[in-house]
Chain A
């Protein structure tokens, strides 16, 4: 790295427990690299990419995929889902490079390079958007466990306690591995899809023909497309992955593995999303109106087609989707808070030294949990507004991502090249326009013909 824009000399070097924990992880990485143990090395270095992609396969997303399957069946949306995750990969790969090269989170870089206004704006809209999104995750948790007769308060409290327990390990590595092991259950939708007996030839054909599209291009279809594109990459994903890359201790030598990690996450998430569409396709084939279905309604409605086992797996999958997203999104708020305020920003922090970080993390989850449990809380309103808030936050976040990843003073040889900018700028413009269109239509529904 050349021409580092420093305005401070290196302060007196000290070693903290956070450093020691990270160094222990890094020492293992260096040993495996020295021994050329590629698979073991990859095992150590995967995490942020898979978690961010499966975190985005959250409660509302899985409901959205289920609604898509029930409304359109096998056809256009299967290849479209692959396209959205390819776009997500393009954007998230840039966060890997930024984190690995600068060793700083997204919010920290925005604050340092573009000043206080944009730093606090990034923090403010992220924390607000995350809080509202967390509410929708706890709704999914409640719905998923509600299928098994678990009382709402018990379901929410259990999820909250799990969050506390994992975080209190005060070790990034432990947190990451626990959440990774939970995230694998996003693939529960795959056996449900198999139980739905989709016609394999139709599935394969849809990827080549991008069809059929029952009903043709309607207002509802355009809205669904824009909603899906706008929700492909959400602000918390940029902030989370870059901060997690830093917390994990990823360096420039690990960028190839970081890319594999992100690609793996995109592939697994796309498989789970497609499986969810296939799982609810029987509702489309049997003309079941699922337009007003909420969480566990899908599991109940699927019993005649996938049996009790399939319905049970669907409900468990929904619970998992909400839980993993709740864990990752609450962490992204805490990371951003620490980065902008200059306080602790690591899961390796001690409780005493990192109490503001842990307090923000717990408070984000706890406030959302309480909101879900409050009688007469405006949950429908929150669900509606959360997408609009995400759209507000997305363009600045993604524009700053592009500016930062092209900033050669901090990125050196790892800055975007022409090809990366071609895809990066193309995807960015596409995401921004789709999100903007979605926001306008949400607020002015009459803009779109019926």
Chain B
């Protein structure tokens, strides 16, 4: 692949505006280029979403307990 594409190396990203790679910019949308991906910021959370996330945290703690219990029971029955 890199032999067919002058200006590119196996290392990966190379800053270039070479005409040989201009077609890539035309074909891909800006966010599809590995070197020009914009970073999303944190989402502003509403009160409802915050409550939902706390409910998820409680759920996770509860399920960790459940899974631990399942592991304990399984080990106990195997033993």
Contacts and interface: CB of A to CB of B under 8 A. Distances in A.
Interface in B5-46: 5, 7-8, 10-17, 21, 23-25, 27-43
Contacts of A385: 67, 70-71, 74
Interface string A99-133: 00011100001001111001001000000000000
Interface residues of A, number: 61
Nearest to A382: B74
The B contact surface, by secondary structure, is helix
Contact of A381 (B15, B21, B75): B75
B11 A353 contact: yes
Given A381-B74, A442-B70, A104 B40 contact: yes
Interface stretch (A23-31, A203-211, A302-310, A328-336): A23-31
B66 A249 contact: no
Contacts, number: 166
Interface string A15-57: 1111111110011001000000000000000000000000000
Given A4-B38, A392-B60, A15 B24 contact: yes
A121 B60 contact: yes
Interface residues of B, number: 51
B35 A388 contact: no
B42 A115 contact: yes
Given A103-B31, A249-B32, A403 B41 contact: no
Interface string A277-290: 00000000000000
B34 A18 contact: yes
Contacts of A26: 27-28, 32
A443 B56 contact: no
Contact of B63 (A249, A392, A409): A392
A194 interface: no
A246 B72 CA distance: 40
A391 interface: yes
B53 A114 contact: yes
Given A20-B1, A114-B43, 11 more contacts: A13-B33, A14-B34, A15-B7, A19-B28, A19-B34, A102-B40, A104-B40, A109-B40, A249-B28, A354-B12, A443-B73
30 contacts: A4-B38, A5-B40, A6-B40, A6-B41, A11-B36, A13-B25, A13-B33, A14-B15, A15-B7, A15-B25, A16-B14, A17-B2, A19-B33, A19-B35, A104-B40, A109-B40, A112-B40, A249-B28, A251-B29, A352-B11, A352-B12, A354-B12, A380-B78, A381-B74, A384-B70, A384-B74, A385-B70, A389-B67, A392-B64, A403-B52
Interface of A: 4-8, 10-23, 26-27, 30, 102-104, 109, 112-115, 118, 121, 249, 251, 346, 349-354, 378, 380-381, 384-385, 388-389, 391-392, 395-396, 399, 403, 407, 409-410, 439-440, 442-443
Interface of B: 1-2, 5, 7-8, 10-17, 21, 23-25, 27-43, 49, 52-53, 56, 59-60, 63-64, 66-67, 69-71, 73-75, 78
